[in-house]
Chain A
Amino acid sequence: MSILDRIRNLFAPAPAPAPRAMAAAPATPSVPIVRKPAPEPPPPPESPVARRTLDRHGQDIVALEGPMNADISINLAECRSLKRLPDGIVTGTLTLSDCTALEVLPAGLSVAFLDLAGCTALRSLPEDLRLRGGRLNLRDCAQLTGLPDGLGEVAQLDLSGCLNIQDLPAGLAVTSWIDVGNSGIRTLPARFDHVGVRWNGVAVARRVAFAPETLGHEEILAERNAEVRRVMIERFGYERLLERAEAEELDRDTDAGGERRLLRIEMPGDEALVCVSVRCPSTGHHFVLRVPPDMTSCHQAVAWTAGYDDPAQYKPVVES
C-alpha cells in the first residue's frame, strides 16, 4: 500500500451505516454531515492530504459523524445548531466556542487546546476527557457545575463566568494561570499557589479576586496599571470607593461611553487627587484616570488625557 493510499484510508468514511439524512447523498465526504432541516448535497470531498485542519465554523451543522481526522485543529466555532460530535476525536486544537446548542461532548476526546467559551447549554464535561497541557477555555459555560477528576494538565484554565463551578478536582494540574472572573470559585487550594490568577482576562493579585474587601482606597488609587486598577475598583465597588475616599464631585456630563464625572479626593499630607471617571464605549468598563489637580470639567480632563492642553482642540470623530 502506498503512503498516499494509507493517507486516503485515514480519511475514509466510517463503515457504520450512514445516518438517515445522508441517505440521499451519493458522495462520500470525509466527514459526513447531517444538516437541518432538509438534506442538502454535501460539500465536495476535500483533498485528504490537505486535511491537517478542518474549518467548518459558523455552519448550520447539527451533527458531525466520525471519524474526524485533523491532526492540527478542528474549528467549529459558532456552529449554533451543533448537538453531536463523533467519539474519539484526537487533535491539537478543538474550537467549539459559541456552539450554543451543544449540551454534551463526545467520549474519548483528547486535545491540547479546547475552546468551549460561550457554550451556554453545556451541562457537563465527559469523565474521560483528556487535556494535553494546553488551554481549557470554559468562559461563560454557566451550566457547568464541576470539572471531571481525570482531566490531566493544562497551562491555562479560563473559568470566567462559570457561576456554578465552585471547586476544582484534585486530579487537575494547572501550570500557568486560572481565570476566576465572575465564577463560583471563592478560593484556590494551596497546590495552586504557584499559578497566576486572572479576573476576566486581567492578571491580578489573589486578594483582588478573593478578598477585595481588604483593599484600601489608597491602595486602589495608587495602582499603576489602569486595567488592574479598573478590576480593583470593580471588585471593591466604585460607589464604596468614592464614599470611603470622601470624593467631591466637581463636574458631571456624558460622552460616547456614558456618564463622566470629575472627582476630587483630598489626600492627607499630599496633593489632592483629581480624577475623571469614564466608561469605555465598547466594553462599558469603568475607568478612573488621574488628571492634574487644576482641571475643572470632565471634557477638559479627558482632553488632557488625550494630550490636549486646549480642550477646544479635542474633537474625536470616532470613539470605540
Chain B
Amino acid sequence: MIRNGPRVGGSASVEPYGQGERADMLMRQGDVFIETIDVVPQEVAERPLPHGTLVHGEVTGHSHRLEDLATGQLYAGRAPGELFLRISAPARIIHEEHGTITLSVGAYRVWRQREYTPQAIRYVVD
C-alpha cells in the first residue's frame, strides 16, 4: 500500500521518497514528472545510463532531456518508466515544445504520466 508518493506503473510498488530535510517538490514537464528526493538509491546507482534522455516521443521525435550531460547523471529505475537523476551542477531539462525546468544540485526521481485502460494501466505514449 502506498501512502506517500506516487505509484509508478500498474502494480509496481515504489517506496516513498523525499521525506528528509529537503522539502518535497514536484515538477511537471508535459507527461513527465520530476520529484526531489534525498538520495539516489544504492541499487539504482549501479545502473547509470549513457544518455540524458528522460523520455523520447514516438511519433514526434521530441524528447525531454538533460541539456548538458556534464550537469547530471541518469539512472535506470526499478519500474518501467521510472528513472533517477543525480544533478551535480545547476541543470536544465529541455523539450522542443514545453518550457524548460531548472534543477538545482541534488537527487531526483523521474516518472511518466499514466493512463487507464480496462485491461491494464499504461504510460501515456506520445
Residues of A within 8 A of B (CB): 201-204, 224-228, 270-271, 280-283, 289-292, 304-310, 313-320
The reply to whether A306 and B118 contact each other, CB–CB distance below 8 Å, is: no
The reply to whether A305 and B115 contact each other, CB–CB distance below 8 Å, is: yes
Say yes or no for B126: interface residue by CB 8 A criterion. yes
The reply to whether B98 and A280 contact each other, CB–CB distance below 8 Å, is: yes
Cα of A292 to Cα of B118 in the assembled complex, Å: 8
The reply to whether B97 and A307 contact each other, CB–CB distance below 8 Å, is: no
Known: A226-B115, A305-B124, A320-B100. 12 other contacts (CB 8 A): A202-B59, A226-B125, A227-B57, A227-B58, A280-B30, A280-B97, A282-B97, A289-B124, A313-B6, A319-B27, A320-B29, A320-B101
Kindly list chain B residues whose C-beta atoms are within 8 Å of the C-beta of A203. 59-60
B112 to chain A, nearest CB (A): 9
Count class of interface residues, chain B: 35 or more
Cα of A280 to Cα of B62 in the assembled complex, Å: 15
With A292-B116, A307-B33: A316-B6 Cβ-Cβ less than 8 Å? no
The total of interchain contacts (Cβ-Cβ below 8 angstroms) comes to: 96
The reply to whether A228 and B59 contact each other, CB–CB distance below 8 Å, is: yes
Cα of A314 to Cα of B111 in the assembled complex, Å: 14
With A226-B125, A308-B6, A320-B29: A202-B101 Cβ-Cβ less than 8 Å? no
Q: Which of B6, B28, B111, B118 contacts A318 (CB 8 A)?
A: B28
The reply to whether B27 and A289 contact each other, CB–CB distance below 8 Å, is: no
Say yes or no for B89: interface residue by CB 8 A criterion. no
With A290-B115, A305-B114, A308-B7: A320-B60 Cβ-Cβ less than 8 Å? no
Say yes or no for B5: interface residue by CB 8 A criterion. yes
A105 to chain B, nearest CB (A): 26
Residues in B1-41 with C-beta less than 8 Å from chain A: 2-8, 25-31, 33
Cα of A280 to Cα of B5 in the assembled complex, Å: 23
Q: List 21 A-B contacts (CB under 8 A).
A: A201-B61, A224-B122, A226-B125, A227-B59, A227-B126, A228-B59, A280-B30, A283-B97, A291-B115, A292-B116, A305-B113, A306-B26, A306-B33, A308-B6, A309-B2, A309-B7, A315-B26, A316-B33, A318-B28, A318-B101, A320-B100
